[in-house]
Chains A and B, each alone.
Chain A
Amino acid sequence: MAHPATTPTSFEREALPHLDTLYRVALRLTGDDAPAQDLVQDTMLRALRGWGGFRPGSNARAWLVTILRNTFINEYRRRRREPAMVELDDAAPHAIYDAVADADPEGSFFARIVDERVLAAVDALPAEFREVLVLSDMEGMSYAEIAAALAIPLGTLKSRLFRGRRLLQRQLYDHALAMGYISPREVR
């Protein structure tokens, strides 16, 4: 007989509060509503099947994100057209800040960019940068949680986050330039 803490009722209690997070992450991973809904549903079914192995009191959100991410990689990723890899100039890690330091040192142009454009820029990031940035900077998961969920070393996570943020800053900077929110200056 199952332990009382691992009955479906306890599953609902532990897992359902994370549906919003799972849906938002799925939306950014798949890039569209319909596959995101399918991914969340598949994730919950897999989680229910694996619920007996979940240790009560451990981090349900991180556990669910692990299942969602693995399901995405195994069954959904090939359906998504991934953006091409983008080259980063490692010699100029702070190029965007350097470009706006005189005119807009607070980066107030970020606030002028509408949600849809910011989310589109996130969606345009290469997958390995997009997933860590979404989990860390949009969902507020700790580095330790993310490193465990993605089974990557902390140093790898930090490196991907740094590069992902740089790429996103560059995309948002380019958009702000095109919209006239800031004036052009040479960026390497």
Chain B
Amino acid sequence: MTERIDCDRALAELQDYLRREESPGLTPLIEAHLERCAPCFRHASFERNFLEMLGSRGAGIRCPDTLRQRILDILRRQAP
């Protein structure tokens, strides 16, 4: 493969790549860049940790049981 991307392009796509939402066709180019560029590889670790941290915060918050029951009651009252 001869096509390459530079650091600016790799960093611009980094967060989307970590969310598996990078632009079509760029996956192998980003991966190849991260394999050969130590600074971008370290930057990727930082962004990965940030996104993983964010995904874990508040994830345990649940809809209160009282609200769930209230909604169920309303739905059942409205059912034919």
Interface residues in chain A, defined as those with a beta carbon under 8 Å from any beta carbon in chain B: 8-9, 11-12, 16, 19-20, 22-24, 27-28, 33, 37, 40-41, 44-45, 48, 93-94, 97, 100-101, 105-108, 110-111, 115, 118-119, 133, 136-138, 140, 142-143, 158, 161-162, 165, 168-169
Contacts and interface: CB of A to CB of B under 8 A. Distances in A.
B57 A105 contact: no
A23 B50 contact: no
A94 B49 contact: no
B74 interface: yes
A105 B54 contact: no
Interface residues of B, number: 34
Given A97-B46, A101-B42, A136-B19, A118 B61 contact: no
Contacts of A111: 49, 53
B44 to A, nearest CB: 10
A34 to B, nearest CB: 10
Contacts, number: 110
B21 interface: yes
Contacts of B39: 101
Main secondary structure of the interface of A (DSSP, over half): helix
Given A8-B75, A8-B78, A94-B11, A119 B49 contact: no
Contacts of A27: 58, 61
A138 B59 contact: yes
A27 B21 CA distance: 26
B71 A23 contact: no
A94 B43 contact: yes
A16 B68 CA distance: 8
Listed from nearest, the 5 A-B pairs whose CB atoms lie closest are A23-B63, A19-B63, A107-B46, A8-B79, A110-B53
B1 interface: no
Contacts of B54: 118, 133, 137-138, 168
21 contacts: A9-B79, A12-B72, A19-B63, A19-B71, A20-B61, A23-B67, A27-B61, A37-B64, A40-B71, A97-B47, A105-B42, A105-B43, A105-B46, A106-B45, A118-B53, A118-B54, A119-B57, A119-B58, A162-B15, A165-B50, A169-B50
Contacts of B19: 136-137, 143
B25 interface: no
B46 A48 contact: no
Contacts of B53: 107, 110-111, 118
